[in-house]
A and B are shown apart, each in its own frame.
Chain A
Amino acid sequence: MADQLPEHPDFLWRNPEPKKSYEAVIIGGGGHGLATAYYLAKNHGMTNIAILERGWLAGGNMARNTTIIRSNYLWDESAAIYEKSLKLWEQLPEELDYDFLFSQRGVLNLAHTLQDVRESQRRVNANFLNGVDAEWLDPKQVKEVCPIINIGDDLRYPVMGGTYQPRAGIAKHDHVAWAFARKCDEMGVDIIQNCEVTGVERIGDKVVGVRTNRGNIATERVAMCVAGDSSVLADMAGIRLPIQSHPLQALVSELFEPVHPTVVMSNHVHVYVSQAHKGELVMGAGVDSYNGYGQRGGFHVIEEQLAAAVELFPIFSRAHVLRTWGGIVDVTLDASPIVSRTEVDGLYVNCGWGTGGFKGTPAAGLTFAHTIANDDPHPLNAPYALERFETGHLIDEHGAAAVAH
């Protein structure tokens, strides 16, 4: 498998000094910031823009996620934006001229209780109505898709079936970032690393610039794509966001021959597993319960997800954990993102993607760029405005389908 990895090209983007002013400034050089810049330049002709990244490009959650891409969400608003995202994923390798190993190996969401079965079948039907590919599989069919799953009745929570989305899959996340960065750079976008925003300048209710550790930058449009640190940045701009930051952990095993052909997720016993192209088993689970910015979490969370994984996949009992890590995810109370204007003119916020931001990268970029360029949301992100917390039009994916994204 390792010989499939493309050569790492030398230089994909410049490292320019920040200019005194830009038409728009995107804060955060992760996947969402890069995708936003890409679509601002490509779809809206805005190339006099900068991405400001506090650390190095794609060194935050873009480097820490478990790379799962799927669109089998329950609610119409979610299916619409995540399915658009999946369709963009399908065209991006060619569009960006970069093979970032997007592999549509399918995703299985397992059901372990009668309630799981009912909810899963409901979700399959909802997916059909929204044009999202989805199937309900009985345990034997689950075993056919993923032969290493234990479907016996000796489990505490036996596999009673699962939903399957064949078009779902994984991609190599760092290559995705590099692919976007190269195209952004080609179109004239300044990607400025090691540039930390220390303040947001306002005159009245209008944004006029940002302060950074590399000088002040004047701009009338500031777009936030900083995930776990969104509240801290929003505070600099004088606004409050309805999000809470939590540690989310993931882990990998040592490298193995290909044993796991798809992506398996289980909300009930709570683990999600795929096998990366290099060969590591990649696993994640839920967030730590408390608010945290520490980029690390409790080992008992790892222990629980490994217990679930070993029960579902008995052959994993001989594997070793090679590395665990944590990121900071920004969670809303309805587990749906915020892609929105704010009460401050020229300040736009893209946050709240919680544990599932990677798969949303292209659609977040597309809709956020549209929102910034037109000062008006794209139809796909209109439901994801901050106003929903006042109107009550929540998009409750927490209650509906996905504990895990």
Chain B
Amino acid sequence: MLLISCPNCGPRDETEFHYGGQAHVPYPEDPYALSDREWAEYLFYRDNDRGAYAERWSHSLGCRKWFNAVRDTVTYDFTAIYPMGDPRPTTSEGAVR
């Protein structure tokens, strides 16, 4: 079981959280301008990185707020937790305390 540091509630068990998949996938600015291929990319294609991965979590049994995290998909270690809307941290900024 993962121990996840909710930015609002502190470290809690994984079972309190809901996984939201890849972070930073914005709704297309003009969906009507997209080709079928591009629309398929938005709907169905997500990165599936081996290693550091920026993803969304919701503390659904706690504060019910969403946040972003960078987690290693092989070791499952969290390396950063940061607010939704912020860019993905590049260095130690946002590192898990």
B45's contact among A240, A292, A298, A300, by CB below 8 Å, is which?
A240
Query: What band does the interface of chain B fall in when counting residues whose beta carbon is under 8 Å from A?
Result: 20 to 34
Contacts of B53 in A (CB 8 A): 291
Complex formed: what's the CA distance from A291 to B39 in Å? 23
Contacts of B75 in A (CB 8 A): 294
Cβ contact within 8 Å between B73 and A294: yes
B2 within 8 A of A: yes
Closest beta carbon of chain A to B12's beta carbon, Å: 13
Cβ contact within 8 Å between A300 and B1: yes
Contacts of B55 in A (CB 8 A): 290-291
Complex formed: what's the CA distance from A244 to B22 in Å? 10
Q: With A242-B46, A298-B2 given, name 19 new contacts (CB 8 A).
A: A231-B48, A231-B50, A240-B45, A242-B40, A244-B21, A244-B46, A290-B55, A290-B71, A290-B76, A292-B74, A293-B74, A294-B75, A300-B13, A300-B14, A333-B43, A333-B44, A389-B45, A390-B37, A390-B40
30 A–B contacts, CB within 8 A, in A order: A229-B50, A231-B48, A231-B50, A232-B48, A232-B50, A241-B48, A242-B44, A244-B46, A245-B50, A289-B18, A290-B71, A290-B76, A291-B49, A291-B53, A291-B55, A292-B76, A293-B50, A293-B74, A294-B73, A294-B74, A294-B75, A294-B76, A298-B14, A300-B13, A333-B44, A389-B43, A389-B45, A390-B39, A390-B40, A391-B36
Contacts of B37 in A (CB 8 A): 390
Closest beta carbon of chain B to A318's beta carbon, Å: 26
Cβ contact within 8 Å between B48 and A245: yes
B1's contact among A299, A333, A391, by CB below 8 Å, is which?
A299
Contacts of A299 in B (CB 8 A): 1
Contacts of B71 in A (CB 8 A): 290
Cβ contact within 8 Å between B19 and A290: yes
A27 within 8 A of B: no
Cβ contact within 8 Å between A242 and B45: yes
Closest beta carbon of chain A to B35's beta carbon, Å: 9
Cβ contact within 8 Å between B44 and A389: yes
Closest beta carbon of chain B to A22's beta carbon, Å: 27
Q: Find the residue from A229, A244, A290 having the highest chain B CB count within 10 A.
A: A290
B15 within 8 A of A: yes
Q: B35: nearest residue on chain A (CB-CB)?
A: A390
C-beta contact mask, B1-22 vs A, less than 8 Å → 1, else 0? Answer: 1100000000001110011010
C-beta contact mask, B29-61 vs A, less than 8 Å → 1, else 0? Answer: 000000011011101111111100101000000
